[in-house]
Structure formats: C-alpha cells, structure tokens
Amino acid sequence: MKRRLLCVFVLLTLLCSLTVAFSGSALAASRTSSSCVTPGGTNTLHGTIEGANYTIAVPANWNGTLVLYSHGYVFATSPLLNPAPDAGDSQTAAVLLQQGYALAGSSYSQNGWALQQAFHDQAALLHFFDVTCGHPSRTIAWGHSLGGIITAGLIQRFPNRFDAALPMCGVLSGGIGTWNQALDSAFAFDVLLAGNTLPLVHITDPATAFKQAETILATAQTTAQGRARISLAAALANIPGWFDPTSPEPGSKDFTAQEQNQFLWQSKVDFAFAFFARAELEARSGGNPSWNTGVNYREQLEKSADHQEVAALYKQAGLSLKQDLKALDAAPRIKADPAAVAYLSKFITFDGDLNMPVLTMHTTGDGLVVNQNEQAYASVVRSQGDASLLRQVFVHRAGHCTFTPAETLAAFQTLIQRLDTGRWDDSTDPGLMNQEAIAFGPAFNPVPPAYINFKPTVFLRPFDARHDRR
C-alpha cells in the first residue's frame, strides 16, 4: 500500500520562494524512543546553528523517520527565513506529524544561490538532530526548486546520511548548465533587441540592468518583429508557451498565445534572475561562471521545443530567421572565468551516481526551471547505470512547482512504497497516481489531478560530470 504525502501550491512571485510538503506513511515503523519525544504532543525546537536558523518538530508518535526540507531561492536582499521552514506549509506539516514523521529544515546561513552554505547547514542540522533527538532509522531529503538541486546535491555529497530523495521542480541540470542556458537566452535578447547594450555578465548594477531589460522587453512586445525575437530568445532557454496554471495549455499551433506566455515568464520571473540575481551568483563565485563560446545558435534552435513557434512568428513578422541567427553567431562571445566555473561546478555538478531511490517531479509548463532539467538528470544517472533507482513524474500544468497537495501526497507515498518494497513496479503510472490523488478528497484537490505521460525534450546546455574536463 502506497504512502501518503502532502504538497502545496507554490506562489509564483519574483522572490520565487518555493514550498512543498508531504504526509507520513501508513506502514510507518513502530514508535521510536527519543529524547525529543514528549507525550503531550509535538515537540518543536527552534534555534540557530552557525548563523542558520533551524526548525525541528518531533511528534509524540515518532516513527523513526526524519524528513529534511530544503527551501527554495530567496533573494539576497531579503532576511533569512525565520522560523526556518521544515515543511512547505502548516497544513502539510500537520499531516506529516500526525503520521509520525519528524520534520527539520534550515534557513541556510545565507540567501541567494547559497548551495555551499545549504549543504553545510543541512548536514549540521542532521548532526544536531542526532545529538539532540537520536539517530533516525530513515532520513528522506526533499525540497522545491533551489531546494530540489540542494536535495539532489545532499544525497550526492552525503549518500550515507539519506535513504531516499524527492526533488521537486528541481534545478537538476546543475548550476553551470542552468546559468549557461539562461545566458544564451539573454544573449539573443541583447543582440537582437537591445543592440548589445545590456550587461550580461560581470553585472555591477543589477537593479539598473534589470530595469533596462524590462523596458526593452515591454517595447519589443508591442511589435510583430519584437515578438518574433522574444520567441527566439525564449526558445534558446526552452521557455514554455504556457504561464497561468489556471488556464488551459495553448494549442500546439497557437503561436501567438505561446509567445504571449513566454513574454509573461520573462517579464514576471526569468529576467529577475538573468539580469538581477546573476550579480549575486557572480559575487559568490568570484566572477562569471557562464560562457557561450563555441555555441551554434542555429543548432540550438533546431533542438529547442519551441522551434516551430519561432519559425512561424518570424514568417508572420516578415523577418529573416536565417539572418538573425547569423547575427547571433557573429556577435562577440562571452568567456567564463575559470575560478568561477570551478566554484559553481563544485556547488554542484551532478555525477549520476545514485545510492538510493530518487523520485523527481515537475510540471510540464515550468518556465523558470524548465522541465528539460529532468532529461539532463536522467541522462547522467543513466550513464552511471543507476536508472533503476530513478523515477520521474510529470504534472500537466503551467507554473513553477504548482503541484496540488494531493498530487504531492501521491508522489510521496510512491517513494515510501519503493523504500518499503524495494520495487517501483507500476507505482508511477499516471492513471494510478491520479486515482490516489483523487482519494484525498476535494480539500487536497483544488484542481483535478493532472499526472501525465510525458517525455521532455533535451536540455539545451547540458553540463554534468561527463562534461567537466578541469
């Protein structure tokens, strides 16, 4: 019998602080002795470890399993999360605790692209839990978005501390691939629409760079030629043509609607990272970790999921796509700073070596962390011969991490079943998972469950351990 878990609707804001949650197992182990267990109810601990806030919650009926939560991106200009989230939301936490799961989570000691700090702070929190509450019989890592890459990084760096992982909407292409692909999109936007005036790397005034890019984007959206070029820039990052999770996906030939949605992704979400958050990344990396030397943009477009849309909009606008691609190929390229590449590769490049069951989850219409991240991760896992440990599931919906509680419950119970039985069997069949989600009732299903058979196209700028020649 599959176990149950609770997820959360994630608000899509520029802050993009991401949440997730899940419930406990119906087949949980018997109550475990712990100095943190109190008979009167849940014992909640708050504190600080080396500058990172933490939260620990241990229920009276603790089943011995600890669920370690890694939260998503928080802009460096914001304060550290306090209290630190130990689940995606209070409703989810309550269900988990009722099922006997202990929860823990760190704010990390820094915001921004703080993977280095997150790995250290989450490991320190696990040690603190061991000393304070006792060593768990099982530990499950989970998180959303930046918390997804942190989750996958934790099990790669500390495989002996975890038994399973559930990265959701995670940046599973790794930092270098993700930021390289973002650079390609920004580069095309700058060359074709901004006249090579935008600072793409070594950004010293991110607020001004972001404002300048947003102004140019808004102007370009008012003309057919501008919209065609926006679609090309979007295609080089595989930005989907679907933005609103409450609306149906545009038809496969509705290129006008698709481009409008790509514009919304860029203006409301993506440009904040490409032109603002990149400065924070460069500051912590010691330079620019991204490059486009040697990239053939005609070949990149041919591989993009959006290439038909781009061709159609260029034709409608009376523009020569061939000439614009030549302009991109002729434009001066951007070289990376080796020390920054080394830093971002360390935090983190995936090697595909799995030692435990991993279930990943993604919406098909995610324009911030595109669904092709899952293809990149599956590829490197397959190269290590560990594909049997990995399953990937997809929800047919727009938005970043916009899973319903019931959908995430179904995913978590699937992972628990794999832990308990040692087999996946047909547990990730979309029809079965949708049935399981429906069974949680309307309170957990604000919209119908939407698991779907889906195969992502290729991630356009892959970088994993096979590509790291340093």
Identify the CATH number of the domain in which residue 64 sits. 3.40.50.1820
pLDDT score, position 23:
34
Omega prior to 216 cis, within 30 of 0: no
- Residue 22 within any structural domain of the chain: no
Query: What DSSP letter does each residue of 45-110 carry, written as one string?
Result: EEEEETTEEEEEEE-TT--SEEEEEE-----TTSPPPSSPPSSSSHHHHHHHHHTT-EEEEE--SS
In sequence order, the β-bridge partners of residue 104 are: 56, 68
Give the pLDDT score at 430: 99
Dihedral sign for Cα atoms in the order 146, 348, 380, 152: negative
d(CA 32, CA 34) in angstroms, rounded, equals 6
Do 230 and 290 belong together in one domain? yes
Residue 206 belongs to a domain: yes
Residues 403 and 298 in one domain: no
- Same domain? For 168 and 217 the reply is no
What does each of the 470 residues of the chain score in pLDDT, given as a tens digit?
433 333 333 333 333 333 333 333 333 333 455 789 999 899 999 999 999 999 999 999 999 999 999 999 999 999 999 999 998 777 778 888 989 999 999 999 999 999 999 999 999 999 999 999 999 999 999 999 999 999 999 999 999 999 999 999 999 999 999 999 999 999 999 999 999 999 999 999 999 999 999 999 999 999 999 999 999 999 999 999 999 999 999 999 999 999 999 999 999 999 999 999 999 999 999 999 999 999 999 999 999 999 999 999 999 999 999 999 999 999 999 999 999 999 999 999 999 999 999 999 999 999 999 999 999 999 999 999 999 999 999 999 999 999 998 998 899 889 989 999 999 999 999 999 999 999 989 999 999 999 999 999 999 999 999 997 65
pLDDT of residue 20: 34
What range defines the domain where residue 250 resides? 175-343
Same domain? For 184 and 271 the reply is yes
Task: Provide the pairing of β-strand 43-49 with 52-58.
Answer: antiparallel
pLDDT at site 12: 38
Query: How many structural domains compose the chain?
Result: 2
What is the reported pLDDT for 469?
A: 66
Sign of CA pseudo-dihedral 267, 272, 275, 278: negative
Q: What is the pLDDT of residue 91?
A: 76
Are 90 and 166 part of one and the same domain? yes
